[in-house]
Amino acid sequence: MENVVVLSGAGISAESGIKTFRDDNGLWEGHDVMEVASPQGWENNQELVLDFYNKRRRQLKTVQPNAAHEALVKLEEKYHVDIITQNVDDLHERAGSSQVTHLHGELFKVRSTFDEDLILDWKDDLNLGDFCEHNSQLRPHVVWFGEQVPMLEIAVSIVEKADLLIIVGTSMQVYPAARLMHYAPEHTPVYFIDPNPSINSSDKIEVIAEKASVGLVELVDRLLANN
């Protein structure tokens, strides 16, 4: 069974109604991103950061996986599918995908500020005074700007075994995630699905200039028919 590795980003979730990370002016709900997604922002105003992610968590409960998420589940009928996502939502899992690696953390999890390996499932609001067993404040289990990406090495090892690589919903301009595609074996075909692609088709890369729910469904149908 061939290994298909999928690199997914905000574009696949946007079609479900999840807000993408920044507006055109670089702000999200009026906040500079560093106020709500950096260790410095957390140090300056924990209440603001918690409120920001509480709103994200509440919104995530109101949306559902879309046709693009469901297409990747269908692909598992004939392929071994590993999804490496930059998204912090759980829409891949809710759709039914069995192998999902979250590069940037998960919105429905929190972790201890005393022990970063102490991670808890958390579906409701997280407030000041919500402590771990070590009597330390819990924080969102999200990788902020300036923090290490702990799942990166695992993601690299997955990409290195790819027989096919699909990039969807991400421009692959954000590092370190953008480096991942370069770890695929030399002759691995790459499919890049984006309505406004930042790269051109080549011998190795096929660009599908469609939104995720159209381009991914089309590609999956083709791959299943050819296998």
CA Rg, the chain, in Å?
18
* Cis status, amide bond into 176, omega within 30 of 0: yes
CB 159, CB 133: distance < 8 Å: no
Phi/psi region, residue 149 (left: phi>0; alpha: psi -120 to 50; beta: rest), is beta
Nearest CA among 46, 44, 21, 19 for reference residue 33: 21
Q: Which residues pair with 81 in a beta bridge?
A: 4
**69 is an active site residue:** no
Q: Where are the alpha helices (DSSP H) in the chain?
A: 10-14, 33-36, 39-44, 46-60, 67-75, 91-95, 152-159, 212-226
Residues 6+ apart with CB under 8 A from 37: 142, 144, 145
Structure tokens at 180: 């991942």
* pTM of the entire predicted model: 0.93
Nearest CA among 50, 51, 56 for reference residue 17: 56
Nearest CA among 6, 1, 2 for reference residue 190: 6
CB 139, CB 130: distance < 8 Å: no
The span from the CA of 152 to the CA of 96, in Å, is 23
Q: Which of 102, 104, 134, 187 is catalytic?
A: 104
Structure tokens at 125: 């609001």
pLDDT at position 188: 96
pLDDT by position in tens, the chain (length 227): 899 999 999 899 999 998 765 555 555 667 788 899 999 999 999 999 999 999 999 999 999 999 999 999 999 999 999 999 999 999 999 999 999 999 999 999 999 999 999 999 999 999 999 999 999 999 999 999 999 999 999 999 999 999 999 999 987 776 666 789 999 999 999 999 999 887 788 888 999 999 999 999 999 999 999 88
pLDDT, tens digit, for every residue of 54-92? 999 999 999 999 999 999 999 999 999 999 999 999 999
The span from the CA of 205 to the CA of 189, in Å, is 6
